[in-house]
Chain A
Amino acid sequence: MNLKTILTTLLIAASTLLSAQTEQISGRVINRTGNSPIQGATVRVSNNIDQHFATTDENGQFSISNLYAGAWRIVISAEDFGNYETPVTLQANAALNLGTIFMFPISTSSVIADITSLESESSDYVQSGPTLLGASQDAFTSIANFKWRETRFKARGYDWNLGQTYLNGLLMNDANTGNAPFSLWGGLNDAMRNSESTSGMQPTNYAAGNVNGLTNISTRASSIRRGYSINYASSGESYAHRLGVTWSGEIADDLYLALAGSVRYSSADNPLNWTTGTFYQGASYFIGLEKRFNFRESLALTVLGAPIKRGVSAAAVQEVYDMLDDPYYNPNWGFQDGKIRNARMRNSHEPVIMLDYTNRISNRLRLQTAASYRFGKNGYTALDWFDAPDPRPDYYRYLPSYFSNNPLKEMEVREGWLSDPNVRHINWDGLYNVNYNNNVNLSNVTINGQQNQSIKNERRSKYAVQNRRADQHDINLGVTANSIITDVLKINGGLSYRWNRTEYFNEMYDLLGGQFWLDVDQFAERDFPNNDSVIQNDLNNPNRVIRKGDKYGHNYYAFTQTGGAWAIANVIFGQFDGYFGGDIGFTSFYREGLMKKGLFPDNSYGKSETLSFLSYTAQAGGNYQITGNHIVSANVNYSQRAPYFRDAFISPRTRNTVVEDLEPEKIFAVDASYTVRMSNVKARLNGFFTQIHDRSKVMTFYDDFYRAMSNFALSGVSQRHMGVEFGADVYVWNGFSLKGAVAYGDYIYNSNPYLTQTIDNSNEILAENQRVYWSGMYVAGTPQLATNFGVEYRAPRNWWAGVDLNYYNYSYIDMNPLRRTQDVEDAAADWFQMTYQEKFNPGFVLNANFGTWKSINRKYNLGIMLSINNILNNQTMQSGGFEQSRLQRERDEDGRFWENYSPFPSKYYFMNGTSYFLNVFLRF
């Protein structure tokens, strides 16, 4: 036998083996309205191990081969259509023809928007909304994610950190805060489209369980839509223009490349933007490279990043909004050089590099190993000042109400606000001029690490812009195993490990016309004026001269490690599809101070104690198919999670002191749902109940009584969230559909937590374990009733229009816990005013949208969508707000201070008036 014969025999033998995979699935995809074929729809056929893609041709036809017998899931998605999903079972050696598959158009599928973060001024906590990742076939989820975003709706009332976002199997939520990481890849929508999302407590393939949904985005180059995808968007809210280009293709044998880039821009004085002073300059890039070594192994590299700079707005008190008759007043900016300059800018560039190796060991077992590295800079600028008048225009002492005791002055102040932009906004010129005239001579300063230096006749800045940095190095490793044990049992599991070091410091961003800044603590200097060591922020570099770009104020590392193992088993018993899963892990963190704080010399430099927590989850549930169209499901979850770094240290900027008796958070959650999926009606009804115990939180603010930065450590917070969710999508007749959703919840605090207050210029505990009597009061941050009802018309010639109405109510203000403590309640001038929780205004919001798309030369797909939001221009609804942490003492008639406490006025954000969103895409 010669070589040729051997090879041929082997080949025949091999092909017989391989020919075991001649099963195929085919079908034809048709647009339900107008019965036209849908070209360019993506068909994905997957089981726990493999996934295959195909694209429908001009007749809507597709066919996928090289499959094998077993259970598969088919998902068909197309621009502007709701996903079509069905499980199928392939028999051996048979081809399955699904026949005609009807897809129903929906109007929101191509709309993907980034949300400008709006944050409360007193904290660094940021709430950012998720980008809508692809269409969701569920009416409730798509309405909740897109339509209700204007009120910062949070599903089931949870904070963002209860939802999880994974990239290629690795958890990407921020290690320090748990926040969603969408800003890491803002603008890369087309590259991030291949995602699997669950909502609520539905089971996933990437974790044992979760309470607020999980999204896993796969960025493998081969799974990104082939060809070009160009997208232009414009919005009256976040950015005026966004342009993105994505391309993907096979550049060599089994080598796939995907590239994407986008720019987003909005200027600060954009007249279509409701809030002046907010600007947006962002770009993003994506490179994905994937090599398939053989049919088993593939390696994918992903590099992405989104450098961004954007100016933000701040909430203001009602007095200012009323005085200016403008609910969108933004105190963060002022005029400089004829242009709008915003003092508060978020700036970041945090690229992610990820390597992802998949080994399909057999058609029953697949192993995916991934490693990611996230690094870069993240900052948030703010004004800083030293022993000089507060430069913020809406500081309470600059408002007319501060002069209620002197009507003439009150009038003068009001006139100043209405006529002088330097009163109404930051007076940048004034800040520079103070710095220009502050020539000083100093001795005993540290310059470039050398102590005992002098400064001769240089301008010392009294005002500056600082950049509060939190720069991360985040390494994430994970192994995921997906297996199909039998046709009715599949098991997924994995191991994960994460190491994160975040460096927190202030960067001197702009000296505003001065030549240097001196790094000492101004509150300590006020209180201990003759103690040169206590006033130092860094005893190792006393009286440090700070130039532009230097670190000052505080500097420490937060080291966090988490690791764990998880597994979930899915079992099918006839009509019942159930699962149970669990995970166990640890979290540990510690602080390492890089500056020796003069006020806490023994407790600030070097490592703190290490805190470790055990975390675990147990979750079970399942679906029962009453018939193919009616499904009931239920889930139950119990878990324990570690607190986050920022809630574990009472004042990490100044010292290593840990919150006493820190407990991990415990969650018990249960939900049930009933789903109907018929060709004309899709509806889902959920009920849920979640109890959270032992949450902890640390808040920092400037306390006027102590005239120092003060910290609240809150522990033993319990929250109970329960409610119902309903969504329906009904095709009525001849292109008309009705769609609606209701989220009705009752989210309350159901414990009286403990509050301990400390200040930053002394180690004393000011108030220890004061009970906060707020049990029964509402969790803030979302309307607890959100409803939407709309009508859509789909014309046969590929255009559609729709009108919908939202109604929101039961949104409550974010509370200051101090106001509900015994001592403050007792000393309050008006107990009711001090303790009641304000409810925001309810309201209606009317929206309309229009869209069309067409196919040019059977090659180009062009689409355009325009939506006009809040047509009735409702400007009375607060989209957020908080009680100020300060309290004031009332003056009595003699002008002396009593201990009659009263609250400072609360601060609010208002929902934007009429605005638009335009989206244009071109694909080929």
Chain B
Amino acid sequence: MKTLKNISKLFLLALLATTFTACNDKFNNPNDYVPEEDGDKNIITIAELKKSLWDRPNFLNDICVSTAVCEGCEIITAYEQIAHASWIREDVYIKGRVISDDRQGNFYKQLFIQDSTSGIVIKLGLNGLYNFYDVGQTVYVKCQNLVLGFYRGMYEIGYYPDNETYYPTSYIDIPTLIDNHILPGDPKDLQPIKSDTITIAELTRFFTSNGQINLNDLKNDMRMGTLITVKDLQFQSTEPFLGNMYPRFNSATNLCGTRNRRTGVEIKPGLVPSEVITTWALTANDLQKLGGKEVIENRTNKVVFLNHVMLDITEISNTLTEDGKLLFIPRTTTATVSHYYKDGSGTNTNTVIVRTSGFAKFAGLDRENRGDFTGVIGIYTSRTGGFPDYQLTLRDLNDVK
């Protein structure tokens, strides 16, 4: 019958139609990436790479970097004596296993790799590095056309520095750079490096009598950037200085402070008493809770932090007080905190800092006051190499036993 014919024709069309919408949607899963291998790469040790820096020309001498002193442009050698940066132009590689882990947020844009000789940080400008480079995974770094730098006692691999900053390298944060230079090995072959157990005494053996370090020792200590364990550490004190807030509003050595453009109020660095900080670091919420508390401090420095301009700019101008009130901390600001730990047995009075970022997921938890600490060891000196502090950075709380 004609109607049946019609109906069946249209049914056919409908069938065609529905198959159309279902098909063409199949994409095959991509292949796994081929892991990098030694091949015929010219692989040198990390120690060798580090030491080679001092034979290279320091291009920081030729570029103008700004200073934290608001005097405009200053050639760095005038005061930044030990900062050094050079292009690596030879086709060499280093190869190491990953020892840092930013899953818990304590290693921001830093990838530490360690081989049998030493460890070094690669300034990789990605959030969530753990998604790409797992702890114990082999990573090759093609050093050619990257920058090797030295800053306040630590070596680093990065890229050419940004205009007008005082860091010797910038982050490697461009996909083409990352893809061409940071080459991961087999993600299934994870062999986490066993940490080297060391005592405080051994760690700090380069200290001179007045707590300084020889420049040569500083440059040659290949233990920096590796994974260590220090047994039986005991909490001593906390650095109260909140100039380590990120984003920074000021710093201790900032002699001219900052001035709020609208209100003209000058903002100076401030302090929070150490009794307040019982956690590993200060999270954004912790800092918000501190707002309004009086700072019990008889120093002359006061602190006012500006909140998001939408809410409080009028309030700030009206309620600025001279009595040291902590006010209006920007909502996303956190504070990195350095806790000083000493040897639990008391045989050595030197300390090591356990430094934790306010963005770490465990930052808000109470710190351990005693235990065996594992982490990546580093050192931090003044610009001229003085006042060294050893700093241990934890990957996560499993590093504390």
Enumerate chain A interface residues (CB-CB to B < 8 A).
245, 247, 249, 251, 257, 259-263, 265, 267, 279, 281-285, 307-309, 336-337, 339, 341, 349, 387-389, 397-398, 403, 405-409, 412-413, 415-416, 420, 422-423, 427-429, 432-434, 436-438, 462, 513, 525-530, 705-707, 757, 766-767, 770, 821, 823-824, 826-827, 893-901
Contact = CB atoms under 8 A, between A and B. Distances in A.
Given A706-B331, A896-B249, A309 B25 contact: yes
A427 B70 CA distance: 43
Interface stretch (B37-45, B74-82, B155-163): B155-163
Interface string B262-298: 1000000000000000000001110000000000000
B332 A707 contact: yes
Given A263-B20, A408-B160, A766-B310, A336 B30 contact: yes
Contacts of A436: 32, 187
- The majority secondary structure among interface residues of chain A is mixed
Interface in B163-184: 163-165, 170, 173-177
A405 B164 contact: yes
Given A337-B30, A826-B262, A259 B175 contact: no
23 contacts: A249-B2, A249-B6, A251-B3, A263-B17, A282-B21, A283-B21, A337-B30, A387-B128, A388-B128, A407-B163, A409-B170, A416-B175, A433-B33, A434-B132, A462-B131, A527-B285, A529-B361, A705-B308, A821-B310, A826-B262, A826-B313, A897-B249, A899-B313
Contacts of A767: 310-311
B264 to A, nearest CB: 13
Contacts of A413: 174, 176
Q: Which 10 residue pairs are nearest across A and B when measured between Cβ atoms?
A: A283-B17, A529-B361, A261-B13, A416-B176, A437-B187, A429-B30, A405-B162, A259-B10, A337-B28, A251-B3
Contact of B361 (A257, A339, A530, A824): A530
Contacts of A432: 29-30
Nearest to A187: B17
B255 interface: no
Contacts of B160: 406, 408-409
B57 interface: no
B21 A307 contact: yes
Contacts of A349: 21
B205 interface: no
B248 A896 contact: yes
Contacts of A706: 308, 331-332
Interface string B8-27: 01100110111011011101
Contacts of B25: 309
A388 B332 CA distance: 19
Contacts of B126: 389
A406 B362 contact: no
Interface of B: 2-3, 6-7, 9-10, 13-14, 16-18, 20-21, 23-25, 27-33, 66, 68, 70, 105, 126-128, 131-132, 134, 159-165, 170, 173-177, 187, 247-249, 258, 260-262, 283-285, 306, 308-311, 313, 331-332, 359-365
Nearest to A416: B176
A256 to B, nearest CB: 11
Contacts of A901: 309
A863 to B, nearest CB: 21
Contact of A899 (B66, B177, B306): B306
B34 to A, nearest CB: 10
Given A247-B10, A530-B364, A899-B309, A893 B66 contact: yes
A285 B364 CA distance: 59
B27 A285 contact: no
Contact of B247 (A267, A336, A389, A896): A896
A766 B332 contact: no
A262 B17 contact: yes
Contacts of B29: 432, 513
Contacts of A261: 10, 13-14, 17
B79 to A, nearest CB: 16
B309 A409 contact: no
A190 to B, nearest CB: 13
Contacts of A438: 131
Nearest to B104: A529
B371 to A, nearest CB: 19
Given A397-B173, A706-B308, A897-B247, 15 more contacts: A261-B14, A262-B17, A279-B24, A283-B16, A307-B18, A307-B21, A336-B28, A387-B128, A406-B161, A412-B176, A433-B30, A529-B283, A706-B331, A767-B311, A823-B309
A888 to B, nearest CB: 13
Nearest to A279: B24
A388 B131 contact: yes
Contacts of B24: 267, 279, 281
B169 to A, nearest CB: 11
Contacts of B247: 896-897
Contacts of B132: 434
A796 to B, nearest CB: 37
B363 to A, nearest CB: 8
Contacts of B9: 245, 247
A307 B361 contact: no
B244 to A, nearest CB: 14
B313 A823 contact: yes
A827 B262 contact: yes
Nearest to A405: B162
B262 to A, nearest CB: 6
B348 to A, nearest CB: 33
A895 B258 contact: no
Contacts of A705: 308, 331-332
Contact of B20 (A265, A406, A824, A893): A265
A433 B33 CA distance: 7
Contacts of A527: 283-285
Given A281-B21, A513-B29, A826-B262, A259 B174 contact: no
A556 to B, nearest CB: 27
A39 B142 CA distance: 79
A650 B309 CA distance: 22
Given A337-B28, A405-B163, A406-B170, A263 B364 contact: no
Most chain B Cβ neighbours within 10 Å, of A408, A757, A824 = A408
A257 B3 CA distance: 9
Given A387-B128, A527-B285, A823-B313, A259 B6 contact: yes
A309 B18 CA distance: 11
Nearest to B176: A416
Contact of A423 (B6, B175, B365): B175
Contacts of B360: 529
Contacts of B165: 405, 895
Contacts of A388: 127-128, 131
Given A413-B174, A434-B132, A896-B247, A309 B21 contact: yes
Contacts of A282: 20-21
Given A406-B170, A527-B284, A707-B332, A336 B27 contact: yes
A308 B22 CA distance: 9
Given A261-B10, A409-B159, A285 B17 contact: yes
B6 A247 contact: yes
B163 A406 contact: yes
Given A309-B25, A434-B131, A285 B175 contact: no
Contact of B308 (A530, A766, A896, A900): A766
Most chain A Cβ neighbours within 10 Å, of B28, B29, B165 = B29
Contacts of A309: 21, 25
A899 B362 contact: no
Nearest to A895: B165
Nearest to A255: B3
Nearest to A252: B3
Most chain B Cβ neighbours within 10 Å, of A249, A257, A405, A462 = A405
Given A408-B160, A420-B175, A900 B27 contact: no
Contacts of A770: 310
A206 B69 CA distance: 75
